[in-house]
C-alpha cells in the first residue's frame, strides 16, 4: 500500500519535513478553520476538496473534540492577542438541516471552551429578532439576526471583536457594501462567490510535488490531475463538445499512465463546478460518450449551483477511487479538520450505497471514527492518521497561498514568528 510507503518516508524525513513546513508557511495567513476530503486509492493519497467554511464539526472524533478548545484558544491568542474576547459565529441562512445546526452547536462549544464569549447570528432577517433552530442532537440553537451598521456586524446587545464565518459566501451579500469593517475570519473574500477550485488545486499540486521530492517519493503519489474548463454552458452543443474532448484527453492520458505504472484501475474523471460546495454540480464520467449521453436530469444538475448561481466554469479532475474501509467493509473517505495549521479533528465519511469511485458526500452518508489526536500518542504507530494529516497540512498551506494570490486581507490578524514545532507555523 502506498500509504505505508508515504508514512515511512515522512517519519524518516520528519526533521526536514517540519523545517520545510515552517519555511513555506512564513508570511502566509491561514483561516481559523478548514477541512479536507481525502482519497486513498492504494496507488495515491490526495486531497480532492478543501472547504474554508467547514460544516461537520459534529462528526469529528470525541477524543479530537476534547482538544479543540485548547487549539482554538492557541490560534486566537496567537493571531488576535487579547482582542478577540467576544466572537460572533455567522451561519448559513435558510436551512433547517438539523445536522448543520448540530455543527454550529459544536462550533459554539469549541469557542466557549477556548474561553471567549460567543453568540450565533444568521445574516438576514429582521434586525433585533432571533430564531431557534433544532439540532440533530435535540438541542436548540438560538441565532440572532445580524445587524450591519457602518460596515460592522453585530447583534442586539453584543458588539463582537471577531466574526467567525460559517457561511460560505456563495452569495456576496452585496447589501453589506463592498467591504466589511469588522474583523472576519475566514474573510468574505474567500467565499465561493469569488474563490476558484482551479486556483486552489494549482497551489496544492505544486506544494505536494515539492513535499514528495523532499521525502523522496514520486509526486504522482500525492497529486491529483486537474484542468480548468472555461465558458461552460451545459445547454450549448459547442461547449459540451469541447468539454467532452477535454474529458477524453484526460482519460486517455490517465489510462496510459496507469498502464505504465501497472495500475489496473480504469480511469474516471469528475466534472465539478469551479466555484461550489456541498457536492453540488458534480458528476462522474468514464468517457466523452458518457458525458455527451447525460440525461436531462443530470444536465440540470450541472446548470446551477448553490443559491441558483449559473455554473460558468468547471474543473475536470482525476477520479481517485477509495480503498479506505470502515467497519463492515463499507467504502469510506477520510475528512480532516484544521484549526489554523493544527490538526483538530477527523472522521471517515461512509455511504453504503456508493462505490469506491463515487462521491460519498451525498444524502445518506454515515460518519465513523478516525482520530487525529492519536498522533500525539505515537506518530510511528498511526500511519493512516499521519499520512492523511500531512495531506491536510499541504491543503492548508495551499489555502494560504491561494488567499495571498487573491489579495485577501485578514483584518485584525497578526502574524507571529513560528517556533520549533511545525504546528506553530503559518504566519
Instruction: List pLDDT tens digits, range 299-352.
Output: 777 765 555 567 889 999 999 998 887 777 778 899 999 999 999 999 998 876
Q: Domain 61-194, what fold?
A: Rossmann fold (3.40.50)
> What is the per-residue pLDDT for 427?
53
What is the per-residue pLDDT across 193-233, written as a single tens digit (0 to 9) for each? 999 999 999 999 999 999 999 999 999 999 999 999 999 98
94-98 mean pLDDT: 90
Q: Provide the whole-model pTM.
A: 0.93
Percent of the chain scoring above 90 in pLDDT: 78
What is the per-residue pLDDT across 1-14, written as a single tens digit (0 to 9) for each? 899 999 999 999 99
The domain limits of the chain are 61-194, 225-318
pLDDT band of residue 278 (cuts 50, 70, 90) is: low
Lowest mean pLDDT among 77-86, 89-98, 366-375, 381-390: 366-375
In the chain, how many H helices and how many E strands? Answer: 9, 17
The full 3-state SS of 50-96, as one line of letters, equals EECCCCCHHHCCHHHHHHHHHHHHHHHHHHHCCCCCEEEEECCCCCC
pLDDT band of residue 172 (cuts 50, 70, 90) is: very high
276-302 mean pLDDT: 81
72-76 mean pLDDT: 96
Residue 61 pLDDT more than 90?
Answer: yes
> What is the per-residue pLDDT for 357?
67
Q: How far is CA 98 from the centre of its chain?
A: 21
Return the SS3 of 288: helix
82: closest CA among 159, 184, 162? 162
Please provide the average confidence, as pLDDT, over all residues in the chain.
91
Residue 418 pLDDT more than 60?
Answer: no
CATH code for the domain defined by 225-318: 3.30.1490.20
Q: How far apart are CA 282 and CA 272, in angstroms?
A: 4
User: Strands 140-145 and 117-122: what pairing?
Assistant: parallel
Amino acid at each position: 500500500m502506498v500509504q505505508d510507503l508515504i508514512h515511512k518516508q515522512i517519519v524518516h524525513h520528519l526533521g526536514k519535513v517540519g523545517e520545510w513546513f515552517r519555511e513555506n508557511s512564513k508570511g502566509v495567513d491561514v483561516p481559523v478553520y478548514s477541512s479536507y476530503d481525502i482519497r486513498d486509492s492504494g496507488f495515491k493519497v490526495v486531497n480532492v476538496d478543501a472547504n474554508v467554511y467547514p460544516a461537520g464539526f459534529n462528526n469529528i472524533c470525541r477524543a479530537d473534540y476534547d482538544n479543540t478548545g485548547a487549539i482554538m484558544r492557541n490560534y486566537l491568542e496567537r493571531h488576535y492577542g487579547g482582542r478577540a474576547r467576544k466572537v460572533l459565529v455567522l451561519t448559513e441562512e435558510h436551512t433547517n438541516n438539523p445536522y448543520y445546526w448540530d455543527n454550529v452547536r459544536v462550533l459554539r462549544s469549541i469557542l466557549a471552551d477556548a474561553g471567549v464569549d460567543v453568540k450565533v447570528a444568521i445574516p438576514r432577517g429582521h434586525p433585533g429578532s432571533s430564531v431557534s433552530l433544532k439540532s440533530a442532537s435535540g438541542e436548540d440553537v438560538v441565532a440572532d439576526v445580524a445587524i450591519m451598521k457602518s460596515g460592522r456586524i453585530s447583534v442586539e446587545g453584543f458588539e463582537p471583536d471577531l466574526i467567525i464565518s460559517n457561511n460560505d459566501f456563495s452569495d456576496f451579500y452585496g447589501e453589506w457594501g463592498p467591504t466589511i469593517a469588522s474583523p472576519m475570519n475566514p474573510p468574505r473574500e474567500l467565499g465561493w462567490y469569488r474563490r476558484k477550485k482551479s486556483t486552489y488545486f494549482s497551489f496544492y499540486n505544486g506544494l505536494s510535488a515539492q513535499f514528495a521530492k523532499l521525502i523522496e517519493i514520486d509526486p504522482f503519489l500525492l497529486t491529483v490531475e486537474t484542468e480548468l474548463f472555461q465558458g461552460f454552458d451545459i445547454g450549448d452543443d459547442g461547449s459540451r463538445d469541447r468539454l467532452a474532448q477535454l474529458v477524453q484527453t484526460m482519460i486517455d492520458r490517465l489510462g496510459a499512465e496507469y498502464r505504465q505504472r501497472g495500475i489496473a484501475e480504469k480511469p474516471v474523471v469528475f466534472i465539478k463546478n469551479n466555484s461550489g460546495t456541498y457536492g453540488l454540480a458534480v458528476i462522474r464520467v468514464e468517457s466523452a460518450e458518457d458525458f455527451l449521453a447525460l440525461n436531462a436530469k443530470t444536465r440540470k444538475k450541472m446548470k446551477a449551483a448553490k443559491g441558483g448561481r449559473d455554473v460558468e466554469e468547471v474543473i475536470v479532475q482525476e477520479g481517485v477511487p477509495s480503498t479506505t474501509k470502515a467497519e463492515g467493509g463499507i467504502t469510506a473517505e477520510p475528512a480532516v479538520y484544521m484549526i489554523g495549521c493544527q490538526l483538530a479533528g477527523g472522521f471517515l465519511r461512509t455511504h453504503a450505497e456508493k462505490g469506491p469511485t463515487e462521491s460519498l458526500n451525498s444524502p445518506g452518508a454515515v460518519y465513523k471514527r478516525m482520530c487525529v489526536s492519536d498522533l500525539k500518542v505515537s506518530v510511528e504507530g498511526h500511519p493512516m492518521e499521519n499520512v492523511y494529516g500531512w495531506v491536510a497540512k499541504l491543503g492548508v498551506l495551499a489555502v494560504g497561498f491561494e488567499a495571498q494570490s487573491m489579495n485577501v486581507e485578514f483584518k485584525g490578524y497578526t502574524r507571529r514568528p513560528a517556533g520549533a514545532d511545525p504546528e506553530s507555523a503559518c504566519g
